[in-house]
Structure 1
Amino acid sequence: MASILSPFRQTYRYLQRQAHESPVIFFSCVLGAIGPLMVITVPPIRTSLGWKPAESIPTTYPLPNRPRRPVQGYEDE
């Protein structure tokens, strides 16, 4: 049984040593590994907390649903 857990124990010891000897590299690798996991876990958590996406910004000016009238008035003769 000990031979099955040996690689995990050695990996833990290696990571612990790296955290003490070069913490910047170690923690940058930890944050780099957490990033892809957050892509999967954060959106469902946000929706369960009641977050709703913002309404999209209009890209065109809405035209009225009526016939156009010719312009009359100031210098439009």
Structure 2
Amino acid sequence: MASIFRPFTSPFRNTYRYLQRQAHESPVIFYSCVLGAIGPVMLVTVPPIRRYYGWRKPEEIPTTYPLPKRARRPVQGYEDE
């Protein structure tokens, strides 16, 4: 019975062994790949978790300076004629 499932488990077992060997022989590359794989997962999971804990988007930063509600006087002085 175990021989029926052997072709299906062998690729997973070999992949696990390969990753284990890479983690031992070149840990920098291995963990770089692990962190790179976690990024897209975080893109999907982090925003709902933040909303669950009550995080709200901050107010937008103004891009223009508000003009005063009065008559504007023309500038005089320093090279203005």
| d(CA) in 2 for partners of 1:57, 1:48 | 25
**Structure 2 unaligned spans of 5+:** 74-81
CA deviations on 1:16-38 (whole Å, 9 max, x unpaired) are: 00000110110000001111111
Note the aligned Cα RMSD (angstroms): 1.8
- Residue 37 (structure 1) aligned with residue 36 (structure 2): no
Question: Which of 41, 53, 56 in structure 2 is aligned with 1:52?
Answer: 56
Correspondences of 1:1-77 after superposition (within 5 Å)? 1-62=5-66, 68=70
TM-score by length of 2: 0.74
Aligned residues: 69
**Structure 1 unaligned spans of 5+:** 72-77
